[in-house]
Amino acid sequence: MKKSRKKLKGMTLIEMIISIAIFAMMGSLLVLVGMHIDSANKASNSLRNKIVEESPYAANHVTKYNDSTNTLKDISTANLAITVEQDDIPGVFENEEYIDPNDPSKGTHKVQYNLNTKVDMTAKKYQTRDVLLDGKTPTQKNEILNGANSNLNLEFFEIDDLP
């Protein structure tokens, strides 16, 4: 009976310490991977929320929005100066313009401009971040501005009519 008992010997102390250390390392790896997945998920959700709120304005070039108090506000703009240079080849620039700028429902038509090798244009750049931040508390605004994808801002610009 004593001989069979010796054969059923358990793990030594060193084996137990090594197995616990291996499980601890595997657990810490799982925690690190989980934290990375969580931060990537937060960044993805933040970007999705921005796109859901701002993209209709940018996609449709809408320059006004109803703020949280249901007051019509202009989306903030900045003026841009654009210089287009061609490689010494004059060309033709086509632009789609409204037939009647005061009544867009009348449709558009194409207008051609003959270009020299250098053309100066002006444009307005619209920043839709105001739409996203409107109605938020200072804490929420701070989270948005300092959170994931905070440096991304959906913008659009419209080129003014050429002279």
* Percent of the chain predicted with pLDDT > 90: 15
Domain boundaries, the chain: 59-89+123-159
Across 16-141, where does the E strand assignment appear? 64-66, 72-74, 77-85, 91-98, 108-115, 118-127
Burial of 77 (0-12, 13-18, 19+ CB in 10 A): middle
**Range from 12-16, 76-80, 81-85, 89-93 carrying the lowest mean pLDDT:** 89-93
Instruction: Give the residue-averaged pLDDT of 66-94.
Output: 77
Of the candidates 38, 37, 66, the one whose C-alpha atom is nearest the C-alpha of residue 53 is: 66
The candidate with the shortest Cα–Cα distance to 80, out of 161, 153, 162, 157, is: 157
Give pLDDT, residue 68: 82
pLDDT at residue 24, rounded to an integer? 96
Instruction: Say what the pLDDT of residue 74 is.
Output: 85
Convert the pLDDT of each residue in 21-72 to its tens digit. Answer: 999 999 999 999 999 999 889 888 888 888 888 888 877 878 888 888 888 8
Per-residue pLDDT at 9: 72
Which two tokens mark 108?
A: 């558009």
Q: Taking the CA of residue 94 as centre, how many other CA atoms within 13 Å lie in the half-sphere pointing to its CB?
A: 4
Extract the tokens encoding 22.
């291996």
